Chain A
Amino acid sequence: MSTTLFLILCLNGLQYGMLLFLIAAGLTLVFGVMGFINLAHGVQYMVGAYLAFAYVQLTGSFMLAVILSLVTALILGLLLEHFIFRHLYNRDHLDQVLATFGIIIFLNELAKVIFGPATLSIAPPEFLSGSIQLTETLRYPIYRFVTIFAGLVVALGLYLTISFTRIGMLIRAGATSAEMVSALGVNIQRLFMIVFGVGAMLAGFAGVIAAPIFAIEPGMGDNILIVAFVVIITGGIGSIGGAFFAALLVGLIDTLGRSLATEILSTVFNPSFANQIGPALASMLIYILMAAILVFRPKGLLPAKGVS
């Protein structure tokens, strides 16, 4: 294991972590502030990717597509909130799971009807499509650096908004006691709508920036949703800071684990045995991490204040 390979793996882990953070940020707020289980959050990630594809076809410009996709994802999120989710806030979790699961199936099929079942892709914008020479044999795509940077910017923006603005204060208060906030004359319904819309937009944004790296296909959000849930539970439900650190942790452990598990095991066991169980063990690592953290810190790494 050379140092450069290790460095590359860390960069990849960071980049994956940032992507997870963008998805988990919205999920943790919706879950934490509203106590609402939104399984359809992953499908909003897919919607973002398909929107980017459609707008790139339409306008030919990636940057324009990013902006248009964000606006559309926000509008779609608000529409979903207005017509469906609003009616589920006071229902129990089972109803929420059923309704949002229905939305997953509906949107996955809709994507297939509109865009066809085949896997699609878009190219990264021209000025970001190169790669940086790190060593003689190793290059790292510029686009991936940009996604890390974009994730950091969003994280910083969210941190500042939640810590220092009036709306951030209301979100924190809503997470602790929604009824009390409502009793003080705050329009909690509108607050929920904003949180939900922004959450949908962030998931859409994750889909947009992931589209040039991963392929676009129906159901692409289903797997990442599970990992996003691992992130918010590990980080502490309702906590943006927790989601940030947990996302990085999960991203790094998953990426490093997949490369190193087989190698480490083969120093102890014979190579073919290590080859058999290495990949299986690597894909379990993040769940083992979650279980371990729940044992020692049942509320997660950085629980939101006042959450009981």
Chain B
Amino acid sequence: MKKHLKQLTAGVALSAVMGTAAFADDIKIGMVVTLSGPPAALGQQIVDGFQLALEQKDGMLGGQKVELIVEDDELKPDVALVKATSLVERDKVDFVVGTVFSNMLQAIFKPIVQSDTFLISPNAGPSTFAGRNCNPYFFVTSYQNNQNAEVSGMIANEEGFENVFTMVPNYQAGRDNIVGFKQTFKGNVTDEVFTPLGHQDFSAELARISTSGADAIFTFMPGGMGVRLVNQFANAGLSENMKFMSVFTTDETTLPGQKDAAVGFLAAGSWAPDLPNDANAAFVKAFEEKYGYIPGSYAMQAYDTASLLDSAIAKTGGDMSDKDAVRAALKEADFTSLRGDFSFNNNHYPVQDFHMLNVVKRDDGKFHTSFVRTIAKDYADSFSQDCKM
């Protein structure tokens, strides 16, 4: 009853002062992430990272009270679509934050941006919306999917690898990563191996790797596939004479399962838990204290997303009715990113530094990726010139 009353008064108040910038209702944020099945760990990091930011700001962003509605897309496009539509139509949220996976993003994209609601992706960054189909209501706070693979190619060049064996799961993101890698890598790609998604036993592939004569392997095996590959790679004794280079394969979500087998493996990324800046150190410390595990890039991106919203809402004084003003405030990206330098390109994808990371074991026996050196400064994606925005 009380809630109804509150909504009623809010509704009356809203109609009374509509359009005046002074008034502001609670800000509603809907979140669509994957929280079931094996990839649930990734979605959980996003929820945890976002909620940590909210908590540190006493449940407010930009000085306004925030109501956060978290939905599980179950990694099914139809479920994602239903949940996203109801967030926009029933809950009338001001922002939707989502998703973890690019195919989920593709499912929810249209209904959200067509209803003039801002969609902010804390992880998925498909090429589809970076070029010709970029959208004024769509922002990405993570990266463009191809970038990590492109940077891996640069790492391979710098490290002097001449023959590289590549292996990815047989689906869109896997193929994108190979394309990205080959775009920057100057050496010779000895093999391109495509495994089924969710592959269990890499022994046949490992046998091919060991006889390929390559001096490094480049791979993209997110989640459980990465755990299996890394453990089997190490058990087969391949780590001794071959370098392992990957994206989203040895990260904070998979390292608890890979442990010592992954130490020294190389990765490309825009962030590591020990990336040297004060905001980041404070974030990692607070996150570990609250949730008891080392945050991965997913949690960091969610935290940055909350900081971005915080800055934008503050700039508009909590007024969400003037969409152009909100967009301009978002575009400025006037917040302290845990990654250091951060700005938006014309296509609303980030321009940021990319680094070489390697896996280390901390003194307390936990594992994380560690910053080695910066590979590409202010690196923008290669689709932005096609975007007319």
Show the binding face of A for B, using Cβ within 8 Å: 2, 4-5, 8-9, 12, 15-16, 112, 116-121, 123-124, 129, 131, 137-141, 143-144, 212-220, 223-224, 255-256, 258-259, 262, 275, 278-280, 283
Contacts and interface: CB of A to CB of B under 8 A. Distances in A.
B235 A131 contact: yes
Interface string B248-263: 0000011011110000
A258 B227 CA distance: 20
Given A2-B211, A213-B201, A118 B257 contact: yes
7 contacts: A112-B36, A118-B256, A119-B227, A131-B236, A217-B38, A223-B198, A259-B207
Interface stretch (B18-26, B149-157, B188-196, B345-353): B188-196
Interface string B214-247: 0000000001100110011001111001000000
B237 A131 contact: yes
B201 A219 contact: no
B256 A279 contact: no
Contacts of A140: 236
A138 B207 CA distance: 8
Point out which of A8, A112, A131 has the most chain B C-beta atoms below 10 A from its C-beta.
Answer: A8
A304 B170 CA distance: 39
Given A9-B207, A117-B44, A275-B194, A218 B38 contact: yes
B210 interface: yes
Interface string B265-298: 0000000000000000000000000000000000
Given A9-B204, A213-B201, A214-B201, A117 B235 contact: no
Contacts of B257: 118-121, 215-216
Nearest to A251: B201
A224 B227 CA distance: 18
Contact of A219 (B38, B193, B196): B38
A162 B23 CA distance: 81
A141 B207 contact: no
Contacts of A119: 38, 41, 223-224, 227, 254, 257
Contact of A121 (B40, B203, B258): B258
A214 to B, nearest CB: 5
A215 B203 contact: no
B201 A12 contact: yes
B37 A144 contact: no
B110 interface: no
A117 B257 CA distance: 12
A5 B208 contact: yes
Interface in B43-101: 44
Contact of A4 (B211, B232, B238, B256): B211
Select the residue from A4, A16, A129, A217 with max chain B CB neighbours within 10 A. A217
Contact of A223 (B200, B210, B259): B200
A12 B203 contact: yes
Contact of B235 (A2, A112, A141, A218): A141
B204 A215 contact: no
Given A5-B207, A119-B224, A259-B204, A129 B259 contact: no
Interface string B140-170: 0000000000000000000000000000001
A21 to B, nearest CB: 15
A121 B170 contact: no
A137 B232 CA distance: 16
Contacts of A116: 41
A215 B231 contact: yes
Nearest to B228: A215
B39 to A, nearest CB: 8
A129 B223 contact: no
Nearest to B198: A223
Nearest to B43: A117
